[in-house]
Amino acid sequence: MFRLLAAMSAAVTLTLTAPAFSQTPPNVLVVGQIAEPKSLDPHAVTAVNDFRILMNIYDGLTRYKDGTLEVEPALAESWTVSDDGKTYTFKLRQGVSFHDGTAFNAEAVKFNFDRMLKEDHPFHDTGPFPLSFFFSAVEEVTAVDEQTVEFKLNAPYAPFLSNLAYPTGLIVSPDAVKQNGKDFGRNPSGTGAYRFGEWEANAKVVVVRNDDYWDGAPALEAIVYRPITDANTRIAEMLSGSLDVMVEVPPDSLGQFRGNADYTVLEQAGPHVWFLILNVKEGPFANKAVRQAANYAIDKKALVDNILQGTAEVAAGPTPPAFAWAYNDSLEPYPYDPEKAKALLQEGGYDGGELTFYVTEGGSGMLDPIAMGTAIQADLQAVGMKVKIETYEWNTFLGKVNPGLEGKADMAEMAWMTNDPDTLPYLALRSEAWPDKGGFNSGYYANPKVDELLNEARQVTDQSERAKLYQEMQTIVQEDAPWVFVANWKQNAVTKAGVENFKLQPSFFLMLQDVAKPQ
Amino acid sequence: MALYIVKRLLAAIPVLLGLTIIVFVIMAMIPGDPATAILGSYATPENVAKLNRDLGLDKPMVQQYFIWLGNILHGDFGRSFALNRPVLDEVLERFSATLILAGTSLVLCSILGLLAGVVSAVRQYGWADKVITLVVLVGISMPSFWLGLLLIYLFAVQLKLFPASGMFAIYGGGDLPDLLHHLALPAITLAAVATGVIARLTRTAMLEVLRQDYIRTARAKGVPESAVIYKHAFKAALVSVIPVIGIQAGFVLGGAVYIETVFQWPGIGSMLVKAISTRDLLLVQGGVLVVAAAYVLFNLAADVVQTMIDPRLR
């Protein structure tokens, strides 16, 4: 027994004298992620968590200008759009090569889109490519010459350029795909500021500096992404000094880092909107006055300040302000006014009938859905609306909400994060987007003027023209109130004070090209 | 003995087969599917149908099951939808991490539990007994994930003696001292409850045996006290404690799910939780199959050890 104790104490001593670990080396940035990435093939993934790595390994033909959601040239130096809006011709940047040494050219671009879109492409089976419908308008990609590539669309589609800036539009090395097949996602090769280093499953993904980066080599030698799914553990790692950057800090814990000189807290509102879908086809919400009453009755400021603890802002309409160029800043959010709500309920002839409210337990972008659902229920109750909550796990919830609320519920929580002002209203507010037609308009809102504006906005390629159409749409939709507009989420991150040039982007992508950490 | 082991192993086959059918049926019955989980907000019926077709999930369930079973017999566990890598690679990697954690915890709780139980029994009502009983009570009562968070706060955040999470250091590391360093906090956390249970049981069993006539006889013959306790009493008490350690092995494996999440230990428990929420059918099947096979083997091992210690069972 004593020998055993001796052995144990020896083991403990050994353990305690293990090397110091809580410092991260200079010029290496350690990022705490919320989950293990699925794949490093940008065409195969859907999660923001994976995008945070991908945007640093790859480039697209276009990208978002720093601090905005406006498109600027990246791998394409310039482009022209035909008058009918159906042909896009891109001039590609010269002298760029992939990390594997092969040249980036028009053929490579064609390979990327053919692989995603053509079922008979020899490498289509390296998918599936769940978000390839972002490019479903693309009919044919032609390599005109080495540096020129032409996209033919089946209809004018103005969001095309911003979809190219989305991770699904990032350009991968055709040679690496041919070599690795289905395992390309674990052996990625792009043109980005960092090249792939190693991926140790469930422990880390390492990317290292690309000294030949066309836009200037980054200052960091390497970035280490660590998947830490539990938020409390992520915080403990940050506090113990083993992380340089941590994303998605829970609201409760932000205060711990604020006002501490060792850390910097960053926040950035993004293209996110949290809303309630109202069933306008049947029941009390078929009446516009009742829908407006719900918008007046819910104290959004209290939700945002108390439940979300300032990690979101009150939403005014269907389009988040992060789309600055397309946002109608003359819109004011519905104020909290229970008396007005009561009057509107009377006007709308609400009979006090019970409303069914679908609430989810979690889900991407849903913030704190149960607590928010309960607070909303209480607010509606206070003006005389009886609300019955039904709570579902996220996948089940989507299975109930996406096919439409008819015959099941009067209202449902929902949140979207998009990359273009077109996406959400086009998919969720047009009468052509009712669930039976393959869209997400689960509340059956229909307004011919809104349909017209959204269709027209796709045809117009001039940004300021498009902006006007979206702004008009927002005014009409806010007045019609097919949703209760609740919140726009602010993404947050905490870095060690020694991390330089770290910025959050309204796109919610994590761009680390300019970040430095000298010590 | 060899025949007995072979028989037990053969009997396990229908159990495992039945289990895979149950898991398959449950996964088919719960709402949601991998395509919806992958697409999230973009899950239109059209997109879901296309993705399901690409994933090979548009065939009837029964056919899917037999395809899966056929592949398993050829050693092919399929590819995880959510992780885009072979199921077997992931499951084996994760399971070995869980075995390291659970195995260390089991050794730790057996040694500490037996030791505490014996001391407690020999010094009944003495101060050592009282202290041990108190500590054991606290250990059993405290939820283990809470204990884990406390240990992280104290040893990782405040004292910076141990890492807060992970299995190996992010740079350098990868050797045995590094592993032990990362293992210390999660293993102690996971062992806490089981240690308490084993300690209490050992104490009771020892007190029982110490009251027996042959112990009095041994003492009367002048056998040294240490020999009485360790050779005579402890061996006899062990017989009733071993099956409990076997059961605790199950609890330790099950409890690993929480501990793996708190300490970000890359084990199979946290993998299964994630796989279920993403409806990753093949990964769930592969994981459950391996865990179940391990349970069968552990139970068998416990029975064999007990038979070897207790001649009456032979």
pLDDT tens column, B266-308? 999 888 888 888 888 889 989 988 888 888 887 788 778 777 7
Q: Does A119 touch chain B (CB under 8 A)?
A: no
| pLDDT > 90: percent of chain B | 25
The reply to whether B94 touches chain A by the CB within 8 Å rule is: yes
Considering chain B, what is the average pLDDT of its residues?
A: 86
The radius of gyration computed from the CA coordinates of chain B, to the nearest angstrom, equals 24
* DSSP, res A170: P
Spatial CB neighbours of A346, under 8 Å, sequence gap ≥ 6: none
Say what the pLDDT of residue A14 is: 45
Cβ-defined contact of B261 to A230 (cutoff 8 Å): yes
CA distance A482 to A291: 7
Residue type at A225 in one-letter notation: Y
Of A8, A233, A403, the CB nearest to B164: A233
Q: Say if residue A73 is preceded by a cis peptide, omega within 30 of 0.
A: no
Q: Do B177 and A186 touch (CB under 8 A)?
A: no
Percent helix, strand, coil in chain B (nearest 5)? Answer: 80, 0, 20
| pLDDT computed for residue A30 by the predictor | 95
The DSSP 8-state label assigned to residue B233 in this structure reads I
Three-state DSSP class for A230?
Answer: coil
Using DSSP's 3-state secondary structure scheme, residue A369 falls into helix
Nearest of A216, A214, A246 to residue A231 by alpha carbon: A246
pLDDT reported for residue A5: 46
Give me the residues paired with residue A89 across strands.
A80, A150
H helix and E strand count, chain B? 13, 0
Please give the pLDDT value at position B293.
Answer: 84
Pick from B164, B139, B140, B135: nearest CA to B151: B164
CA A369 centroid distance within chain: 18
Strands laid side by side in the A148-153 sheet: A76-81, A87-92, A148-153, A138-145
CA distance A296 to A336: 5
φ/ψ of residue B265, rounded to 5: -80, 125
Could you please report the per-residue DSSP string of A174-199? HHHHHHHGGGGGGS---SSSEEEEEE
Which residues in B72-89 are b (16+ Cβ under 10 Å) and which e?
beeeebbbbbbbbbbbbe
pLDDT tens track for B31-74: 777 787 777 667 777 778 888 887 777 888 888 888 888 888 88
ipTM of model over 0.90: no
Contact A230 B44 (CB under 8 A): no
Q: Is A208 on the interface with B (CB under 8 A)?
A: no
What is the β-pairing status of strands A222-227 and A28-33? parallel
**CB-CB contact of A128 with B54 (8 Å):** yes
Length in residues, chain B: 314
Best residue of B170, B188, B231, B258 to probe chain A, by most A CBs closer than 10 Å: B170
The residue behind tokens 């310039």 is A78
Distance CA A473, CA A490 (A): 24
- Cβ separation A399–B170 shorter than 8 A: no
Length of chain A: 519
Nearest to A417 by CA among A319, A326, A492: A319
Per-residue pLDDT of chain A (519 residues; tens, 9 = 90+): 444 444 444 444 444 444 444 578 899 999 999 888 889 999 998 888 899 999 999 999 999 999 999 999 999 999 999 999 999 999 999 999 999 999 999 999 999 999 999 999 999 989 888 889 889 999 999 999 999 999 999 999 999 999 999 999 999 999 999 999 989 999 999 999 999 999 988 889 999 999 999 999 999 999 999 998 888 889 999 998 899 999 988 888 888 898 899 999 999 988 999 999 999 999 999 999 999 999 999 999 999 999 998 899 999 999 999 999 999 999 999 999 999 999 999 999 999 999 999 999 988 789 899 999 999 999 999 999 999 999 998 878 888 898 899 999 999 999 998 889 999 999 999 999 999 887 899 999 999 999 999 999 999 888 899 999 999 999 999 999 999 999 999 989 999 999 999 999 998 899 999 999 998
Provide the token pair at A331: 């819109």
Distance between CA atoms of A147 and A131, rounded to whole angstroms?
27
Decide if A233 and B79 are in contact by the 8 Å CB cutoff: no
Is A197 at the interface with chain B, CB within 8 A?
no
**Under an 8 A CB cutoff, do A236 and B264 touch?**
no
Of A276, A270, A271, A269, nearest to A485 by C-alpha is A276
Can you tell me whether residue A358 is helix, strand or coil? strand
For residue B49, the model assigns a pLDDT of 81
Query: Is B266 in a helix, a strand, or coil?
Result: coil
Nearest CA in chain B to A232: B262
Phi-psi sector, A275: left (phi>0), alpha (psi -120 to 50), beta: beta
Give burial (CB, 10 Å; 0-12/13-18/19+) of A235: buried
Binary contact (A402, B43; C-beta < 8 A):
yes
3-class secondary-structure state, position A510: coil
Nearest to A11 among B90, B169, B180 (CB): B180
Report pLDDT digits (tens) over B169-228: 877 777 889 999 999 999 999 999 899 999 999 999 999 988 889 888 988 888 888 888
Report the residue from B37, B54, B184 with minimal CB separation from A128: B54
For residue A73, what are the β-bridge partners? A62
Which of B32, B149, B163 is closest, CB to CB, to A399?
Answer: B32
Any chain A CB within 8 A of the CB of B115?
Answer: yes
Alpha carbon distance B303, B242 (integer Å)? 9
List residues bridging with A196 in a β-sheet.
A207
In a mutational test of the A interface, the residue from B165, B270, B279 whose CB has the highest number of chain A CBs within 10 Å is B165
Round to whole Å and give the CA distance between A29 and A225: 8
In this structure, what DSSP letter does residue B80 have? -
Q: Which residue of B has its CA nearest to A397?
A: B32
Q: What is the pLDDT of residue A488?
A: 95
User: Can you give the pLDDT at residue B235?
Assistant: 85
Residues 187-246 of B with CB under 8 A from A: 230
Half-sphere exposure of A327 (CA within 13 A, CB side): 19
User: Chain A partners of B78 at a C-beta cutoff of 8 Å?
Assistant: none
pLDDT band at B129 (very low <50, low <70, confident <90, very high): very high
Whether B64 has its CB under 8 Å from any CB of chain A: the answer is no
- Would an 8 Å CB–CB cutoff place A180 in contact with chain B? no
For residue A516, what is the DSSP state? B
pTM over 0.80: yes
Using DSSP's 3-state secondary structure scheme, residue A134 falls into helix
Name the residue type at position A173.
S
**Average pLDDT for B81-103:** 89
